[in-house]
Chains A and B, each alone.
Chain A
């Protein structure tokens, strides 16, 4: 290389007297392709879907005589909605007017906060969703009684010496309790795994850039 990069830059742009400026049409109505904007819009759509789903599920379970399941789902979904609505609000506070390090740090913090808040929620809603499904399944009405009652009746008829707790076979109660406890225990891992599938690459890219910027600022 004979010339310095400074002179290549200067002379190159002197020779290029007419930079081709891309056409910008109807920019105001354009959708942003920026990751923060895209995430905000995806978040917003998900939140609307949660509300619609929560109401629809409540109505459906009302007609199916499984209202307890519907109410549990409804309350949990509304809770998820409220927490994430607040998180969405905090995303709007990420300011691209600051320096690159601060901007990227704010975005990274927001992603982390979103993950941690949802892990907290998942610890409660994973087991509760499971219990709601079990209760719903148990309550599913038949011509006389419910599926749960019929199953318990058949088990007790076949194995009359089965231990019973609260009217349910003991192994049944133990099984449900173990699954519920496992869901609560592994909620962190399950949510992180889910989060990493969607945002894993993005997070590691941001972390790489942040590390590089940190090295420059120390």
Chain B
């Protein structure tokens, strides 16, 4: 890859790619693989960009398409820690972001379906319903209803996690 292209056309938008890749991966290794794959696909598809949408919107679309269809077996996390799933504590301690609430939100987003992940990520990135519908290929009228449902689900997941932490804290004090 020409480092010029990476520096000028991908790096300024790295935050978008990182935000999306983090939602679709559980481990650092997978995250790096996904990030690299998205960059590779952007570079390979760059000539297909026809300027009809903004470059950033195009990056959202391509990143989501790549992440939704990477279909990698989620093995590594289990192999590394030898358990079925990352527990909350481990996930937070491996948290990618400085803010713990954000890590917790990401943990919750990871529990959503592939499509719901995409919808909520675009919503949180302040895309309009029309833009979300265009990127995913859906009906804008349904996006609002779906977002409400996803937010409810996220709240439930996060509240559950907080309750578990509080309970664990109480037990460890006792």
Contacts and interface: CB of A to CB of B under 8 A. Distances in A.
Chain A: interface secondary structure?
Answer: helix
A28 interface: yes
Most buried by A among B31, B61, B68, B71: B71
B101 A22 contact: no
A13 B102 contact: yes
Contacts of B61: 97, 99-100
Contact of A100 (B6, B11, B49, B135): B135
A104 interface: yes
Given A5-B105, A9-B102, A32-B40, A100 B137 contact: yes
Contacts of A101: 136-138
B6 to A, nearest CB: 6
B151 A16 contact: no
Interface stretch (B86-94, B153-161, B165-173): B153-161
Interface in A11-35: 11-13, 15-16, 19-22, 24, 26-28, 30, 32-35
Contacts of B1: 24, 26-28
Interface size class of A (residues with CB under 8 A): 35 or more
Contacts, number: 157
Interface size class of B (residues with CB under 8 A): 35 or more
Given A5-B154, A212-B115, A27 B102 contact: no
Interface string A89-115: 000000111111111100100000000
A12 B97 contact: yes
Contacts of A24: 1, 6, 35-36, 39
A104 B69 contact: yes
Contact of A216 (B11, B14, B146): B146
B77 interface: no
Given A12-B97, A27-B6, A33-B37, A217 B11 contact: no
Contact of A205 (B43, B71, B102): B71
10 contacts: A5-B120, A13-B102, A16-B99, A21-B35, A28-B43, A34-B66, A95-B48, A97-B48, A104-B69, A212-B116
Given A8-B104, A208-B113, 20 more contacts: A5-B124, A8-B102, A11-B101, A12-B105, A16-B97, A16-B98, A21-B11, A22-B31, A22-B32, A24-B1, A24-B6, A27-B39, A32-B40, A34-B37, A100-B118, A101-B136, A103-B65, A104-B68, A209-B68, A212-B115
Interface of A: 1, 3, 5-6, 8-9, 11-13, 15-16, 19-22, 24, 26-28, 30, 32-36, 95-104, 107, 202, 205-206, 208-209, 212-213, 215-218
Interface of B: 1-2, 6, 11, 14-15, 18-19, 31-33, 35-37, 39-41, 43, 45, 48-49, 58, 61-62, 64-66, 68-72, 96-99, 101-102, 104-105, 113-116, 118-120, 124, 134-139, 142-143, 146, 151, 154-155, 158-159, 162
